[in-house]
Amino acid sequence: MCLEVCPHNVFRMAGKQAAIVNRDKCMECGACELNCETGALKVKQGVGCASAVINGFLRGTEPNCDCGSDAACC
Amino acid sequence: MDFTNLSIIRPPETSSTWLLKDRLGAVRVRFSLGRNRYRVDTGLYRLGRPGKDSEVFVTANYKLSFDLLRKNLDGLNAWILVLETHGINVWCAAGKGTFGSSELIRQVQDARLAELVSHRRLIVPQLGAPGVSAKQVKEATGFMVKFGPVRAGDIKAYLSAGYRKDQIARSVSFTFRDRFILTAVELANSVGYLFIAFVLMLLLSGIHSEGYSYELMWMEGLKAGLYLLAAYISGAFLAPLLLPLLPFRHFGGKGMLAGLGIFGLIALLTATEIPPLAMVGWFLVSGALSSYLTMNFTGASTYTSLSGVRKEMGIFVPVQLAFTISGLVLIIISKLV
């Protein structure tokens, strides 16, 4: 399943198990963790967006894009 | 179930055709105008004449997402299930969890999908996977989530291959064309800040060693505006466009290089007009501004991660601040000597 959902081909099948072969390509979207039936993966999910980091810093929250409100979205 | 005899048609009908207003709307939101209000109603839609065996495609209520899906389903009879993502596209909404398992479960139940179709398949865009757990949806509704291709354009190939997609259909790209389209939002989003910076530079430009001159303010201020505009275009347009061609891994580095390059070009063309101190100052300001704008393009890109962006900002934000402050100091000093 993780091979199926990963947008950057981080995984390859090695025998019957999926292996991480492209760790640096990971963009931390978390799709693999959410859809891993055996719970073998752990990803700190987040958005790779500088504006979001700035927004979070200014408000003292986690990085947030502001999408879905009336403010501009990154 | 036959809906044709019902006086109120539920679910509503849609088509794969784009009208003029859909085209105009797509262009408009690409420039960030009214983008957050560009929405369709949530719930189930009929495309063509879907029946019990027709596929169910799930999408977000950002109108552009919905429009791209229906356009690419041209010629098919299908159901389209629209989730409430508050006008945000599938991928961004999945990252936030609004395009997520619980919303999908709710919409499947509200639409009474189990009574409309005999199969138990939902085709969810692959980029919805950061929010949708196939297991949870299956447990709650009995429907099996099939993660389709990344791009709606690959759906037909995916269906005819028996719900299989190749590596290309599974991967996100970030082509020259993608980047070109996305720079419009970058250019539009920061234009207010550009104007503020211009006004500030205009006010600074009147300063000279014996006081303040309005004539000088306009003369020098308009030049300053040109330099700012060049750095703006460099950071929000040129560097994003040339992204893979520019050296350095970090977006901030690429943007800085482009900003230095652009101002270098201006300096070459107008060499005798700019005093040396001001020239160094403008190099610094131009590099910093362009670096900052390109750094913000990380949000538009398809491959940056939060930890990577944090690392990059740890390096580049201090550099941008230092460059801007020292650049401005140099520019002001050059006016006073």
Q: Which of A4, A9, A45 sits opposite B130 (nearest CB)?
A: A45
Which residues in chain B have their CB less than 8 angstroms from residue A58's CB? none
B307: nearest CA partner in chain A: A48
Q: Residue A37's pLDDT band (boundaries 50, 70, 90)?
A: confident
Query: What is the DSSP secondary structure assignment for residue A61, as one 8-state letter?
Result: S
The partner residue sitting opposite A5, judged by closest CB among B126, B135, B302, is B126
Question: What mean pLDDT is predicted for residues A19-48?
Answer: 91
| Three-state secondary structure of chain B | CCCCCCCCCCCCEECCCCCHHHHHHHHHHHCCCCHHHCECCCEEEEECCCCCCCCEEEEECEHHHHHHHHHHCCCCCEEEEEECCCCCCHHHHHHHCCCCHHHHHHHHHHCCHHHHCCCCEEEECHHHCCCCCHHHHHHHHCCEEEECCCCHHHHHHHHHCCCCCCHHHHCCCCCHHHHHHHHHHHHHHCHHHHHHHHHHHHHHHCEECCEECHHHHHHHHHHHHHHHHHHHHHHHHHHHHCHHHCCCCCHHHHHHHHHHHHHHHHHHHCHHHCCHHHHHHHHHHHHHHHHHHHHHHHHCCCCCCHHHHHHHHHHHHHHHHHHHHHHHHHHHHHHHC
- Comparing alpha-carbon positions, the chain A residue that sits nearest to B165 is A4
| Residue B95 CB neighbour total at 10 angstroms | 27
Q: Which two tokens stand for residue B294?
A: 């390109």
Per-window interface: A 1-30 vs B, CB < 8 A: 1, 3-9, 25-30
Least CB-CB distance to A8: which of B133, B171, B308? Answer: B171
- In angstroms, how far is CA B174 from the centroid of its own chain? 11
CB within 8 Å: A49 and B304: yes
Distance CA A2, CA A21 (A): 12
- The rounded percent of chain B whose pLDDT value lies above 90 is 89
User: CB distance A70–B298 less than 8 Å?
Assistant: no
Under an 8 A CB cutoff, do B309 and A30 touch?
Answer: no
Residue A72 is predicted with a pLDDT of: 41
Q: How, if at all, do strands A11-14 and A17-20 pair? A: antiparallel
B231: CB partners within 8 A, 6+ apart: B259, B262, B263, B285, B286, B287, B289, B290, B293
Q: Check pLDDT > 60 for residue B207.
A: yes
Residues from chain A contacting residue B313 (CB–CB below 8 Å): 50, 53
> Which pLDDT value is given to residue A74?
40
The residue written with tokens 């950057």 in the block is: A8
Q: Using CB atoms, which residue from B299, B301, B307 is nearest to A52? A: B299
CA angle B106, B46, A5 (to 5 degrees): 55
Confidence of residue A66 (pLDDT cuts 50, 70, 90): low
Taking CB atoms within 8 Å and a gap of at least 24, the contacts of A16-25 are A25/B303
pLDDT of residue A68: 46
Structure-token match 């029946």, residue found: B51
Which of these, B79, B147, B75, B78, lies nearest to B107 by C-alpha position? B79
B151-174 confidence digits (pLDDT tens): 999 999 999 999 999 989 999 999
Whole-number Å distance between alpha carbons of A22 and A12: 9
- State the Cα–Cα distance between residues B40 and B139, nearest whole angstrom: 28
How do residues B63-77 score in pLDDT, each as one tens digit? Answer: 999 999 999 999 999
CB-CB under 8 Å, A35 with B133: yes
Which chain B residues are closer than 8 Å to A45 by Cβ? 95, 130
Cβ-Cβ contacts under 8 Å, B87 against chain A: 68
- Residues B48 and B14: their CA atoms lie apart, in Å, by 7
State the smallest CA–CA distance between residue B202 and chain A in angstroms: 27
The percent of residues above 70 in pLDDT, for chain B, comes to 97
Per-residue pLDDT tens over the stretch B89-105 = 999 999 989 999 999 99
Q: Span B201-210, mean pLDDT?
A: 92
Q: How remote is the C-alpha of B306 from its chain's centroid?
A: 16
Burial of residue B248 (number of CB atoms within 10 Å: 0-12, 13-18, 19+): exposed
Note whether B299 contacts A8, CB cutoff 8 Å.
no
> How many C-beta atoms surround the C-beta of residue B127 within 10 A?
27
Please write the tens of the pLDDT for every residue from B9-39.
Answer: 578 989 999 999 999 999 999 998 989 899 9
Q: Average pLDDT, whole number, for chain B?
A: 93
More confidently predicted of A43 and B7: A43
**With contacts defined as CB-CB under 8 Å, which chain B residues touch A69?**
36
User: ipTM score of the complex?
Assistant: 0.86
| pLDDT higher than 60, residue A71 | no
> Mind telling me how many Å the CA of B294 is from chain A's nearest CA?
10
Contact between B206 and B214 (Cβ < 8 Å) = yes
Choose from B306, B316, B319, B320 for mutation: most chain A CBs within 10 A. Answer: B306
Q: How far is A39 from chain B (nearest CA, A)?
A: 12
Single out the residue of A6, A27, A32 nearest to residue B304, CA to CA.
A27
Can you give B107-155 as a three-state secondary structure string?
HHHHCCHHHHCCCCEEEECHHHCCCCCHHHHHHHHCCEEEECCCCHHHH
**Closest chain A C-alpha to B314 CA, distance in angstroms:** 11
Nearest to B227 by CA among B319, B295, B327, B315: B327
A47 and chain B in contact, CB less than 8 A: yes
**Touching check for A65 and chain B: CB below 8 Å?**
yes
Is A59's Cβ below 8 Å from some Cβ in B?
no
How far A52 CA lies from chain B's nearest CA (Å)? 8
